[in-house]
A and B are shown apart, each in its own frame.
Chain A
Amino acid sequence: MNIFVLVKRTFDTEEKIVVTGGAIQEDGAEFIINPYDEYAIEEAIQVRDAQGGEVTVVTLGGEDAEKQLRTALAMGADKAVLINTEDDLDELDQFSAAYILAEYLKDKEADLILGGNVAIDGGSGQVGPRVAELLGINYVTTITKLEIDGKTVKIVRDVEGDSEVLEAELPLLVTAQQGLNEPRYPSLPGIMKAKKKPLEELELDDLDIDEDDVKAKTTTVEIYLPAQKVAGRVLEGDLSDQVKELVSLLHSEAKVV
Chain B
Amino acid sequence: MDFKLPEDIEFLKQSIRDFVDNEVDPLAMEIEEKDEIPEKIMNMSMEMGLFGLSIPEEYGGVGIGMVGKCAIYEELGRTHNGYTTVIGAHTGIGSVGIVEMGNSEQKKKYLPPMARGEMIGAFALTEPSAGSHATNLKTTAVRKGDKYILNGSKHYITNAPIADIFTVMAVTDPSKGAKGITSFIVEKDFPGFTVGKKEKKMGLHGSHSAEIFFEDCEVPVENVLGQEGQGYVNALKILANGRAGLAARNLGSCDKLLEMSIQHANTRIQFGKPIFEQQIIQHYLADMALDIEALRSMTYRVAWMVDQEMKVIKEAAMVKLLGSEVYNRVADKAVQIHGGIGYIAEYPVERFYRDARITKIYEGTSEIQKNIIAAQLKHEYL
List the interface of chain A (C-beta within 8 A of B).
67, 70-71, 74, 184-192, 195
Contacts and interface: CB of A to CB of B under 8 A. Distances in A.
A189 B52 CA distance: 9
B62 A70 contact: no
Contact of A191 (B11, B44, B47, B60): B11
Given A70-B11, A186-B15, A188-B52, 5 more contacts: A71-B15, A184-B47, A188-B16, A188-B64, A191-B15
B49 interface: yes
Contacts of B16: 188
Contacts of A189: 49, 52, 57, 60-63
Interface in B35-87: 44, 47-50, 52-53, 57, 60-64, 72
Contacts of A71: 11, 15
Contacts of A190: 49
B12 A191 contact: yes
B8 A191 contact: yes
Contacts of A187: 47-49
Nearest to B10: A67
B55 to A, nearest CB: 10
B15 to A, nearest CB: 5
A184 B47 CA distance: 9
A70 B15 CA distance: 12
Nearest to B48: A187
8 contacts: A185-B15, A185-B18, A187-B47, A188-B53, A188-B62, A188-B72, A192-B62, A192-B63
B259 to A, nearest CB: 15
Nearest to A32: B18
B106 to A, nearest CB: 21
A119 B333 CA distance: 44
Nearest to A187: B49
A109 B46 CA distance: 36
Contacts of A185: 15, 18-19, 44, 47-48
Contacts of A186: 15
A54 B230 CA distance: 50
Contacts of B57: 189, 192
- Tell me the interface secondary structure of chain B in the complex: helix
A71 B16 CA distance: 13
A110 to B, nearest CB: 28
Interface in B89-139: none
Interface centre among A67, A70, A188, A189 (most CB of B within 10 A): A188
B14 to A, nearest CB: 9
Contacts of A67: 11
Interface string B178-206: 00000000000000000000000000000
Contacts of B52: 188-189
Nearest to B50: A188
Contacts of B8: 191-192, 195
Contacts of B44: 185
Contacts of A70: 11
A36 B49 CA distance: 25
B111 to A, nearest CB: 13
A185 B53 CA distance: 16
Nearest to A189: B49
Contacts of B49: 187-190
A174 B52 CA distance: 36
A189 B58 CA distance: 11
Among B16, B48, B63, B72, residue most surrounded by chain A Cβ atoms (within 10 Å): B48
Contacts of B53: 188
A71 B61 CA distance: 19
B72 to A, nearest CB: 7
A232 to B, nearest CB: 22
Contacts of B63: 189, 192
Nearest to B8: A195
Nearest to A193: B57
A188 B75 CA distance: 13
A41 B49 CA distance: 20
Nearest to A186: B15
A71 B7 CA distance: 13
Nearest to B19: A185
Interface in B217-256: none
Nearest to B51: A188
Contacts of A74: 11, 15
A185 B17 CA distance: 11
A229 B52 CA distance: 47
Closest 7 CB pairs of A and B: A188-B49, A187-B49, A188-B62, A189-B49, A187-B48, A185-B19, A186-B15
A48 to B, nearest CB: 17
A52 B77 CA distance: 39
Contacts of B18: 185
Given A70-B11, A187-B49, A192 B19 contact: no
A185 B72 CA distance: 15
A188 B19 contact: no
B21 to A, nearest CB: 11
A191 B44 CA distance: 16
B368 to A, nearest CB: 32
